[in-house]
Every structure is written in structure tokens, then in C-alpha cells.
Amino acid sequence: MSLTVQNLTRRFGQTEVLRGIDLEVKSGELVALLGPSGSGKTTLLKIIAGLDWPDAGRLVVGGEDWLDKKAQERRTGFVFQHYALFPHMKVRDNIAFGLTVMDRAHRPAPATIAKKVEELLHFLQIPHLADRYPAELSGGQRQRVALGRALAIDPAVLLLDEPFGALDAQVRRDLRRWLREVHDKAGTTTIFVTHDQEEAFELADRVVVMGAGLIEQIGSADQIYDHPASPFVARFLGLTVEIPVTMRAGRAEAAGLDTSALPRRAMADGPATLFLRPADITLLPSPEGAFRVTEIATTGALLRLRMEGPADCQAEAELPRRAAPALSLGQTVTLRPEVGHIFPGSPTPAQPAPAPAPVSLIKESSR
Amino acid sequence: MTSASLPASAKRSKRVLPGFGLTMGVTLTYLGVIVLLPVIALVLKGAEIGPARFWAIATAPRTLAALQLTLTAAAMATVFNAIYGVLMAWVLVRYNFPGRRLLDALVDIPFALPTAVAGLALSALFAANGWYGAILEPMGIQVVFTIWGVAAAMAFTSIPFVIRTVQPVLEDLDPQYEEAARTLGAHPFTIFRRVVFPAIFPALLVGITLSFARSLGEFGAVIFIAGNLPFKTEIASLLAVIRLEEYDYNGAAVIALTLLIIALVLLAISNILQARALRYRGKTG
Ligand SMILES: Nc1ncnc2c1ncn2[C@@H]1O[C@H](COP(=O)(O)OP(=O)(O)OP(=O)(O)O)[C@@H](O)[C@H]1O
Ligand SMILES: [Mg+2]
């Protein structure tokens, strides 16, 4: 079912956790809420599920005003980060729970429930786990059971709060693919929360980037990756190097910067900020270079360098160790950005990116 | 390193903390002297009597009446405590209201109060001219000198057991279970019955067992309100005292031993039920 959120606001005491959220999710769509810790993702999900209430705003699902409905009446499938499986019930009974608690008039017959549970167990590829207790399952298996329990009630919307947060990288990747398949087969409108951009980009039809209670950008993986809408999104996507520049005739200029690789922009002349990924910077050793190497670290495959430029500007670069030019501490270099984004205005005083993701992850962004 | 020395070093490395031998020794000795020895003495005393004689004393009409009263009243008190205790624990954990901390402190009063004081206070309240008695008596409900009085005194002195065992479990219960149940369509009472209650049940069982055991042995608070009429409101432990005063040591020992056996059987049942209720924790524990 389609879902519309309008101007949703939520305050906890003085702090505004959601500051006017507007969001449209089409029927059958898989949307990722991506944002750093504390940006209000869980709060938004809980409001949609009816576990929390907004101070203002509207929430309409399938044409019905959901703020008029209690959690019990909404039929949302909520998958909690730590699964929240009922520990004293077997897998089978956990999955059946939502069906067995329906009021008598709507509750299916026991045989029908059993059949449906059996179908779900097969659908989720866990029929052999039916008679185990949650304590006897691995994290990935619990995740599947939690999803089964949520799907059993034929939810109007499926809400997943960091569904793979507590799993190791390999299981995450497997389950991610599997979740996409499950979604495509079940066709349920799905919103899932994550702070892992690789996960969001790979899995979702559309990604909603949230920062501090506001939606910063909505778009496909490629749109967001290629055209971050704000400095916040740029930082969040790993463009953590910020260099003050001056725009002149569509070109960014700054001392010690060779911007010949960057295309011209239709931007007014004046001060601006260039956002770069450390991996997208080429270093050209030069006696006149305005940047001085202050730190060199190696991660084995990569060489990570810190540099100090004019006016305390800090930059960071990352390059394959094999291809790196001979560099030493104290050496001066010129920076040559290969790709970058420019936003008007001076850099905001050192506000570090909330969750700088590993650069290696950003590369494989297409699904 | 030889293969024989391996197990020894492995064994040694298990003891992470020092002083295990000493602390364990002290604990066991103390437990033996204070708890086990008296129980053994009691059992030996009983064995001395011989089964036929034991049976004859235990089934004498006055003893039987006392045991029956004690068990029935203790059961009544425990049922009341189980329900009220869960309710009280729920209120203390789930709601925030002015005076909550005071109420929480009040829960321990039955333990802190000398039982004789509790007994006196209760009999004053329930007497025909007392605050409660003045209301109940005209309605034809007599509490003082009846089994109701016995049960009331037992309930009063053992209520903290249920509250204090259930309360911490409720506090630790992750609200996500209830939230999950709500999104799945369960209404409050169903959530309590199917999600919350199974979680607190093992703790409740412990509280119930302790409450019942304490009620079986409660003496000070009961004798004031019971009236202690033989065959009617005379509790087992009081009868044991009476036997002792009559220099009938065997009679006293039989009653004491019977109470002990009942308590032990109960404890065993409670443990089995608990183990079954906690099956779901799985082998990993
Ligand atoms: N019940 C509450 N009372 C007060 N503040 C709260 C409450 N719940 C959440 N908050 C605050 O709201 C903000 C957003 O919380 P929320 O859980 O929605 O973040 P999130 O985006 O899900 O973060 P994470 O990725 O860490 O889960 C946080 O600053 C948090 O401290
Ligand atoms: Mg969260």
C-alpha cells in the first residue's frame, strides 16, 4: 500500500527529533532510510508503526489516516534490530503469533494457521528450524524468523529497523540479497533503516538520506552518489575532504590545487567549498605545492596521507601503495582532484562527518 | 612438555580467582552447622520414633486438624499473594506516579516489622470494634479467630516474597517484546497473558514457593489473630510448641518433621516447574 508522510514532527522535551518529514512511498516500493546515528530513523519508523506518536503532521496509508489508528489496527510488520522474538515460543509459534491473537471473528482456523506458517517457513528457507526456540538459533536465522513473524499478518507496510545491524559482513550480504528476493515475491511496501550506505544503495529502489530530523535528499543510488544535494549528504557519502575555493568563470581555484580535471560548473563567482573523497585525489609532488605532507600511514594495500594546506586547511588522500609516488614527510605537493562536488559558501567550522563510511565500500554502489 | 602434565595445567587454569578453597570451606562448614545439622537432628529424632508411631502421632485428630488448617490457610494466603504481588510489582515497575518510591519502600515493612507487632496490629484492626472488623462483622464476615484471620496474617507476612522476586524481572523485560506483540495485533490483556506472564512466571514460581513456605511456618503474627482453638484455629507450629511444653518431644518432632517434608516436596515441585518453564533457554543457556 502507498504511504504518505506529511510534515511529521516529533519532540522529546526540548529536542526536536523529527523536524518536518515529508515522504511518499509508492505501493510495493522498497525504500531505505539512510542516516547517521541519532538522525531520527527509528523514531520515524515507530511513528509509522503506531508505537510512538508525532506532535504534528499526517500519516496516510492506502488512503486511510493512520494517526487515527492504534498500533494493533495498522497491520505493520515491524522487524526490530535485535529481533525481539518471543523467547519462550518455538519458531513456529513465533511466526503464528500475529494470526493467533486476532479476534475470534477474523482468526483463521488452527489448521489454516499451521498451513500458513508452514508456507512461510519454506518461503524463508527455514523449515528445519520450526521446532527450535530462538535461543537455539544464529543471528541470521533469528532475522529470518523475525521477518516471517512480520510477514505472517500480510502487513500493509513492512518496517525493518537495521535488520542486519547485528550480523557479520558475509551474512549481511547474503541476507541482503535474500531480502530483496523476498520483497520482490511478497510485493509488500517496505521501509528499512540502515546507516550502511552500501546496504541502502544495493537493496533499495530509492534511498532517503536523513540528517538530524530532516530529509536531506531522496533519490536512486546513482542520483545520490553522483549528485549529493547538500554538504551533509556529501560528507555522509565519504566526501570528507573540504577545501575552501574561489569560483571564477565556473572553475574552482585555490592555492596548491590543480582543478583541471573537474568540469566547469554553472555557478556564480565567489567563495565555495570543494568536497572530495580521499581516494579521488592525485598527489603531484612539487616544490611550489601549497600542501605539506604531515602524516603517512599504510593499511597494507593503501597509503593514507594527511596534508596541511594554506589557512589550516586539512586534507586527506588515499592511494594504492604500489602506484604511489615517492613521498616523504614534510614534502610539498599539489592536489589534483579527479572528481568532486562544489557547494557555495565557506566550509562550516570543522563539523566532522557523522559516519564516514569506509571509502572502499562506496565504489561498488550500483545494484 | 609431557602429555601427563597437560591436564594438570588445564585444571589449574580454571581457577581464575584465588581463595576458592578457603571461601568454599567456610561456606560449607557454616551451612552444615547452621542449616544441615539441625535438620539431620530432626530427621534422626523422627527416625527414632519409628514409622508406626510416627504415623499414629501425625494422624491424631488434633495434629491432623492443625496441619489441615495450616496448609489451607497458607494456600489461601499464597493465592492472594500471587495475584496481589504481581499487580503490585506491575504498578511499581510500569507506572511513574508521585509516591512510587515511598510505596516501594513500604513493601518491605512486613519483613522489617517484628511479627508479633504485625499480629497485634492485625487483630486490633479485624476485631469487632476495630476499623475493618466494624465494617466486616455486620456483613456477617468474621476474621478474628477464624481461618480467614490465619490466612490474613500469613498473607501479610509473606507478601514481599512475591513482589520482590517478580519486580526485577519485570524491570528487565525488554519493552520491544510488547511493542512487537502490539504491531502483530495483540491487545493489552493478550500481551500480558502470552508475552509478559511467561517471562515472569519462573520468578513468580519462586516467589510463590517462598511465600507458601513462610506461611507454613509463620507463628508470631498468626497466634494473635487466630485465637488458637484446638481443632479449629490452631496452627501446626503452635501445636508443636504446646507439645514441647508438655514434654512430648516426639509429638513436637513429628509435627516439625511433617512441615519440613511438605516444604521440601514443595521446593522440589517448584524447581521442576521452573526448569520446565525455562526449557526455551536452550542448551546454550
Ligand atoms: N524516548 C525518548 N526520549 C527522549 N529522547 C529520545 C527518545 N527516543 C529517541 N530519542 C532521541 O531522539 C533522537 C533520534 O533517535 P532515533 O532512535 O530515532 O535515532 P536513529 O536514527 O534510529 O539512530 P540509530 O541509528 O542510532 O538507531 C536521538 O537523539 C535520541 O536520543
Ligand atoms: Mg535506530
In this prediction, residue B250 has a pLDDT band, given cuts at 50, 70 and 90, of: confident
Q: Tell me: do A215 and A317 sit in the same domain.
A: no
- Other C-beta atoms lying within 10 Å of the C-beta of residue A141: 20
Strand partners of residue A347: none
pLDDT at A353: 45
Grid cell at residue B39: 535438620
Q: Which of A75, A88, A101 sits opposite B280 (nearest CB)?
A: A88
Q: Tell me: do A303 and A221 sit in the same domain.
A: no
Q: Which of B183, B199, B277 sits opposite A51 (nearest CB)?
A: B183
Annotate A123-146 with DSSP letters as a single string. HTT-GGGTT--GGGS-HHHHHHHH
Domain boundaries, chain B: 17-49, 60-284
Looking at the complex, does the CB of residue A178 fall below 8 Å from at least one CB of chain B?
Answer: no
Cα-based angle B201, B204, B210 (whole degrees, multiple of 5): 145
For residue A360, tell me if it sits in a domain: no
Is 80 exceeded by the pLDDT of residue B14? no
pLDDT at B71: 94
Q: Tell me: do A284 and A205 sit in the same domain.
A: no
Q: Write the CATH number of the domain with boundaries B60-284.
A: 1.10.3720.10
Q: Best interface-test mutation with B: which of A78, A101, A117 has the largest number of B CBs within 10 A?
A: A101
Are A31 and A194 in contact by the 8 Å Cβ rule? The answer is no
* Residue where one domain finishes, among candidates A226, A251, A284: A226
The domain that holds A21 is classified in CATH as: 3.40.50.300
Better-scored residue on pLDDT, A255 or B180: B180
* Residue where one domain finishes, among candidates A226, A254, A272: A226
Q: Best interface-test mutation with B: which of A42, A72, A99 has the largest number of B CBs within 10 A?
A: A72
Are A100 and A152 in contact by the 8 Å Cβ rule? The answer is no
The domain that holds A333 is classified in CATH as: 2.40.50.140
Q: Which of A102, A205, A111, A190 is nearest to A147 (CA)?
A: A190
Print the domain residue range for A27: 3-226
Are A129 and A141 in contact by the 8 Å Cβ rule? The answer is yes
For residue A279, tell me if it sits in a domain: yes
For residue A82, tell me if it sits in a domain: yes
Grid cell at residue A192: 528499512
In this prediction, residue B12 has a pLDDT band, given cuts at 50, 70 and 90, of: low
In this prediction, residue A193 has a pLDDT band, given cuts at 50, 70 and 90, of: very high
Torsion of CA A361, A364, A366, A367, to 10 degrees: -80
| Chain center to CA of A188 | 20
Q: Tell me: do A217 and A262 sit in the same domain.
A: no
Strand partners of residue A363: none
Q: Tell me: do A307 and A253 sit in the same domain.
A: yes
For residue range A85-140, what is the model confidence (pLDDT) as tens digits? 999 999 999 999 999 988 888 888 888 889 989 988 888 888 898 899 999 888 88
pLDDT at B282: 60
Cα-based angle B163, B166, B168 (whole degrees, multiple of 5): 105
Q: Tell me: do A178 and A296 sit in the same domain.
A: no
Q: Tell me: do A9 and A97 sit in the same domain.
A: yes
Contacts with A141 from chain B: Cβ below 8 Å: none
Looking at the complex, does the CB of residue A102 fall below 8 Å from at least one CB of chain B?
Answer: yes
Cα-based angle B101, B103, B107 (whole degrees, multiple of 5): 115
In this prediction, residue B39 has a pLDDT band, given cuts at 50, 70 and 90, of: confident
Q: Tell me: do A111 and A146 sit in the same domain.
A: yes
- For residues B251 and B18, what is the distance between their CA atoms, to the nearest angstrom? 48
A147-158 mean pLDDT: 89
Q: Tell me: do A189 and A296 sit in the same domain.
A: no
Q: Tell me: do A120 and A83 sit in the same domain.
A: yes
pLDDT at B194: 93
For residue A109, tell me if it sits in a domain: yes
- For residues B30 and A200, what is the distance between their CA atoms, to the nearest angstrom? 62
For residue range A329-351, what is the model confidence (pLDDT) as tens digits? 778 888 788 888 888 877 665 44
Better-scored residue on pLDDT, B161 or A62: B161
Q: Which amino acid is at A220?
A: S
According to DSSP, residue A257 is labeled B
Q: Which of A78, A102, A135 sits opposite B282 (nearest CB)?
A: A135
- For residues A116 and A125, what is the distance between their CA atoms, to the nearest angstrom? 14
Q: Tell me: do A108 and A22 sit in the same domain.
A: yes
- Which of A9, A33, A43 maximizes ligand 1 atoms within 8 Å of its Cβ, making it the mutation to test the pocket? A43
Are A235 and A247 in contact by the 8 Å Cβ rule? The answer is no
Q: Tell me: do A95 and A218 sit in the same domain.
A: yes
pLDDT at A198: 85
Q: Which of A329, A339, A326 is nearest to A284 (CA)?
A: A326
* Residue where one domain finishes, among candidates A226, A251, A281: A226
Among positive and negative, which fits the CA dihedral A178, A184, A188, A193?
positive
Annotate A282-295 with DSSP letters as a single string. EEEE-TT-SEEEEE
For residue range B73-103, what is the model confidence (pLDDT) as tens digits? 999 999 999 999 999 999 999 888 999 999 9
